[in-house]
Amino acid sequence: MTRILFVTSDLPVLLGSNCWPRPTDKVPLLVSTTYQGQLMPWIGRLPRRVRWWALRRLLKIQKQPADAFDKLAKLADIAPQLLSALSQEQWHAMVLTEKGLDPWLDYLPTCGVKLAYLQDATTPEVQTLVERAIDVRKRRSFKVLFDLRWMELGQAGGIEQATYELVSAISQLDRRNAYRILAPRSACTEWDFPAGFQAKLHYSDPVSRQFEVARSFLTNKLAEGLGRRPVLTPHMRSLAAYHKLDFDMVHSVAGYTAPDLIGFPGVLTINDLQHLHYPQFFSPEEFAERERLYRESAERAKHIICISEFTRQDVHRQYGIPLEKMSTVWIIPSRNVWQPLSESARSTLLAGMQLTMTTPFFFFPAHCWPHKNHARLVEAFARIASELPTGIQLVMTGRPLPEDHPAAILIGNHKLSTRVMHLGYRSPLEVRALFQGCLALVFPSLFEGFGMPVAEAIIVGKPVLCSNVTALPEVAGEAALMFDPNSVEEIARGLLDVATQPALRLALGAAAVRRRPLFSAQRSAVQTMAIYQRVHDEFYGG
């Protein structure tokens, strides 16, 4: 097959921070220092033909090992330039036309990188091949890489759940295009794709990188024993990693694109720009890093998905990104909330959390991050606790409150330990029971790019009591009673109204049922796939 390689020839050497795996990463070798010392004499005693055989196997060379090795050495020489070109999106500036470069094929990213077996780069044939390759690329199906290396189970809140639901929803619809998932092994245990969905899992755990480093060490030592120089440099390992992933575009869903993937055609999901609105919730180092990553990622992405219209307008105001470069696609709530539990199952699950079917409670699921506003909610509950119907509780889940958390201190000071319960992390089934068993959801957050719990409560048909700021009015619509999250008095009044007015609860519940269709997983998946197709056609059809 004819392959064409686009790359500039005069770019600076790629910085280590943009390599994948990064050369500066302190990845411990599987081969210990002691073993390395014993390995070299052992390699030296092997017959030369055996060493060549081992080297061929490690480098996947089928024939003419000496000639192929020389060609790989040549690729190693220009690998820094190739990676620099990729990182700067300048890979289309020149055509390399040397013959017989088959040994390169396992090291060249498949994302737009091709080889041409032509002698003269100035001939019309080169341009013809380029145009033909672009046309073929445009008409073929696309391959999307989901970069989920950040996904540690239970640590990322709603973004983690929304990502699972998006990929799962796409898997139900797409049988034409291919998807690659780069994530920790532990995060991939729950993927269950239907037959016909073209997906490959690539694990980002350190052990996988250790194996590649160890393989490179052995390969390079064999080469040195044959009088050759090392070829599997960190830059070559980066090229090989891109090739193995085999993708056309990257979808980065955590608000930024990783530096080692920012040069590829990319779709970026921005959830919020909270750090610009509440910088006090971040350390100076966290703020600077987040701002650097978010701003550069937004500027270099081919298209940006914003999880609410509020976020889309905010990104436009803060970063100056044109509105036409961004689309609003709501994130997908957990499919579990759509499934009602039987009364007996719900009763059993609630009992396991020291709750009963007859005890009404407000439900607040959120990690104890500052912007979630736990302290004002507890203070508001304390103010009207004596006016609430007997037995009403406030139940919270998520990351447990530290002892010095303002909300934990208030619970102690107001002697509310029997009325305000923090259940910590709970299973999806238990959270489902809490949503379905609560009197209403209360969500006093100061800042939300979307507000997943609000959407989940609406799907369940529960009344919602939430903040009137950021994306929450957009998501909640008429299904919520809203308040100023900075006003303890307004939060308290809302709690009392919902607890004491059955007609208000019925009206909010009915509004929630009418609003449920807006949170369709299929709707968001179709919108996302349309963006993939648009980016693919614009980039490869250009």
- Are 358 and 238 in the same domain? no
List, for residues 497-541, the tens digit of each pLDDT value. 999 999 999 999 999 999 999 999 999 999 999 999 999 988 876
pLDDT score, position 263: 87
In a domain, 305, yes or no: no
pLDDT tens string 340-363: 999 999 999 999 999 988 889 999
Burial 248-278 (b: 16+ CB within 10 A, else e): bbbbbbbbbbbbbbbbbbbbbbbbbbbbbbe
- Select from 119, 112, 124 the least CA-distant residue to 82: 112
Pairing type for strands 303-306 and 326-328 reads parallel
CA distances from 269 to 102, 331, 332, 349, 539 (A): 37, 10, 13, 35, 18
Distances (CA, A) of 85 to 8, 89, 143: 6, 6, 21
CATH number at residue 415: 3.40.50.2000
Q: Shortest CA distance to 200 belongs to which of 231, 237, 171, 169? A: 171
| Residue pLDDT, tens place only, 257-287 | 999 999 889 999 999 999 999 999 999 999 9
pLDDT in tens, 388-402: 988 899 999 998 999
Confidence tier at 126 by pLDDT (50, 70, 90): low
pLDDT at position 175 over 90? yes
Please check whether residue 410 lies inside any domain of the structure: yes
pLDDT at site 36:
52
User: CA-to-CA distance for 276 and 100, rounded, in angstroms?
Assistant: 53
Is residue 436 one of the residues assigned to a domain? Answer: yes
Largest CA distance in the chain: 89
Residue partners of 199: CB distance under 8 A and separation at least 6:
171, 178, 179, 180, 181, 191, 193
Query: Per the domain annotation, does 441 fall within a domain?
Result: yes
Both 236 and 376 in one domain: the answer is no
Question: Nearest 5°: phi and psi at 234?
Answer: -55, -35
Note whether 20 and 118 are same-domain residues: yes
Tell me the pLDDT band of 133, cut-offs 50, 70 and 90: low
3-state secondary structure of 33: helix
- What is the residue range of 513's domain? 336-519
- The answer to whether residue 289 is domain-embedded is no
Mean of pLDDT over the chain: 84
Query: Are both 362 and 218 inside the same structural domain?
Result: no
In the chain, how many domains are there?
Answer: 2
Q: Which amino acid is at 393?
A: Q
Nearest to 441, CA basis, from 426, 424, 427, 455: 455
Same domain (yes/no): 373, 484: yes
Q: How confident is the model at residue 484 (pLDDT cuts 50, 70, 90)?
A: very high
Give 424-435 pLDDT, tens digit per residue: 999 889 999 999
Taking residues 149-154, report their average pLDDT: 77
Cβ atoms of 395 and 434 within 8 Å: the answer is yes
403 pLDDT higher than 70: yes
pLDDT computed for residue 539 by the predictor: 80
Confidence at residue 486, expressed as pLDDT on a 0 to 100 scale: 97
- Nearest-angstrom CA–CA distance, 227 and 283: 52
Q: Scanning the structure block, which residue is given the tokens 């648009």?
A: 534
Whether residues 88 and 187 share a domain: the answer is yes
Give the pTM.
0.85
Predicted pLDDT of residue 491: 98
Decide: 270 and 315 in contact? Cβ < 8 Å.
yes
Residue 412 identity: G
- Tens-digit pLDDT profile for residues 456-465: 999 999 999 9
pLDDT digits (tens, 9 = 90+) for 76-125: 888 888 788 777 775 554 455 555 566 777 787 777 544 443 344 455 55
Residue 264 domain-assigned? no
Give the model's pLDDT for residue 287: 96
Cβ pair 294, 256 in contact under 8 A: yes
- How is residue 329 written in tokens? 């696609």
Whether pLDDT at 481 is above 80? yes
Structural domain includes residue 326:
no
User: How many residues are there in the chain?
Assistant: 542
Q: How far apart, in whole angstroms, are the C-alpha atoms of residue 88 and residue 172?
A: 35
- CB of 148 within 8 A of CB of 255? no
Are both 223 and 341 inside the same structural domain? no
Helix (H) or strand (E) holding 309: helix 309-319
Over its C-alpha atoms, the chain yields an Rg (Å, rounded) of 28
What distance in Å separates the CA atoms of residue 127 and residue 195, rounded to the nearest whole number? 41
Residue 402, domain member (yes or no)? yes
User: What is the per-residue pLDDT for 124?
Assistant: 59
State yes or no: pLDDT of 251 exceeds 80. Answer: yes
* Number of other residues whose CB lies within 10 A of the CB of residue 460: 22
Q: With bands split at pLDDT 50, 70 and 90, how would you rate the model's confidence at 141?
A: confident
Tell me how crowded residue 345 is: count the other CB atoms within 10 A of its CB: 14
Contact present, 354 and 433 (Cβ < 8 Å): no
* Token representation of residue 257: 């694109």
Residue 534, both tokens: 């648009």
Residues 192-214 pLDDT 10s: 899 999 999 999 887 777 777 88
List the strands of the sheet with 143-147, edge to edge: 198-203, 178-183, 143-147, 249-252, 266-270, 303-306, 326-328
The answer to whether residue 412 scores a pLDDT higher than 60 is yes
- With cut-offs at 50, 70 and 90, classify the pLDDT of residue 323: very high
Both 107 and 220 in a single domain?
yes
Residues 6+ apart with CB under 8 A from 530: none
Say whether both 228 and 343 belong to one domain. no
508 and 383 within one domain: yes
Which class for 197: exposed (0-12), middle (13-18), buried (19 or more C-beta within 10 A)?
middle
Do both 39 and 164 map to the same domain? yes
pLDDT band at 542 (very low <50, low <70, confident <90, very high): very low
Tell me if 457 sits within 8 A of 480, measured CB to CB. no
